Structure 1
């Protein structure tokens, strides 16, 4: 009986140690591919529901693409051109790496800028499906509505 109990305990330990790795692999698999920004919202920190400001990309910026691979490579491709989006052209591509912690849902995107210094952008993954990615900014938030509670910026991407 003691041997069976000991075997069960080791099996449970092994199963739980693999759980986060499997979840991370699953979620980075979903993350893989091209994402286009569809909206940015500043949400009240007081109730985490009230939208204080909403912006949507227009013209050529609507073509900007965030790209992830499962080997933790990330790139951001930007486009420039006319405000109505009729004459867009490639403007820049920044590449880098990202880290992702499935337990805390934190993604750290490190893109190299023009000076080759990594630019860290840290987000909490608020939603991740096959077609939608919603990131909550963790650094640089401020009190938009003056209620002395920091409000949160959310960026939504779609495939």
Structure 2
């Protein structure tokens, strides 16, 4: 009887420990691919609702992409220019993602690591909250946060 009880305990432990890995792989699979910024918003830290400002990419800048792969590779392709004359430059690096804490840390080559909180992650939408360089934009002495919305 003790052997069966011990067997069930180990089986339960094994199934529980694999669950986090499955969630991690599932979310990384949704994260992979190319994303384009649809808008960036600065939200008041006082109520976490009030939009202080919104920036929507236009022109060449709207063609910029961020790419994630499941091998922890990250790349940002910046597209700049005026009118139909666009040029691009690519910056590569790595990232880490913790499905439990929803923490995404991107480290591009020759840059510092930047931490984000994943607010929304679906097959077509990604919303990140910047966890670095936050300041008080509206003068109420409360730190405000930048949220970046991506679409495929």
**Fold match by TM threshold 0.5:** yes
Is structure 2 residue 147 aligned with structure 1 residue 154?
yes
Segments of 5+ residues of structure 1 without an aligned counterpart are none
Counterpart in the other structure of 1:10: 10
| RMSD value, Cα | 1.3
TM-superposed deviation, 1:17: 1.2
Is structure 2 residue 133 aligned with structure 1 residue 137?
no
Counterpart in the other structure of 1:106: 103
Q: What SS is found at the alignment partner of 1:119?
A: coil
Q: What SS is found at the alignment partner of 2:92?
A: strand
> TM-score scaled by structure 2?
0.94
TM-superposed deviation, 1:61: 0.6
Distance in 2, Cα, partners of 1:40 & 1:18: 36
TM-superposed deviation, 1:144: 1.5
User: Which among 86, 89, 93 is matched to residue 87 of structure 2?
Assistant: 89
Counterpart in the other structure of 1:19: 19
Distance in 1, Cα, partners of 2:103 & 2:42: 19
How many residues in Structure 1 have an aligned counterpart in Structure 2? Answer: 152
Please identify, of 133-142 and 145-154, the stretch whose mean Cα deviation from structure 2 is larger: 145-154
Please identify, of 41-50 and 95-104, the stretch whose mean Cα deviation from structure 2 is larger: 41-50
Q: What SS is found at the alignment partner of 2:113?
A: strand
Counterpart in the other structure of 2:45: 45
- Provide Cα deviations, 1:21-73, integer angstroms capped at 9, x if missing partner: 11111011001111000101111112211111111111111000000111111
> TM-score scaled by structure 1?
0.90
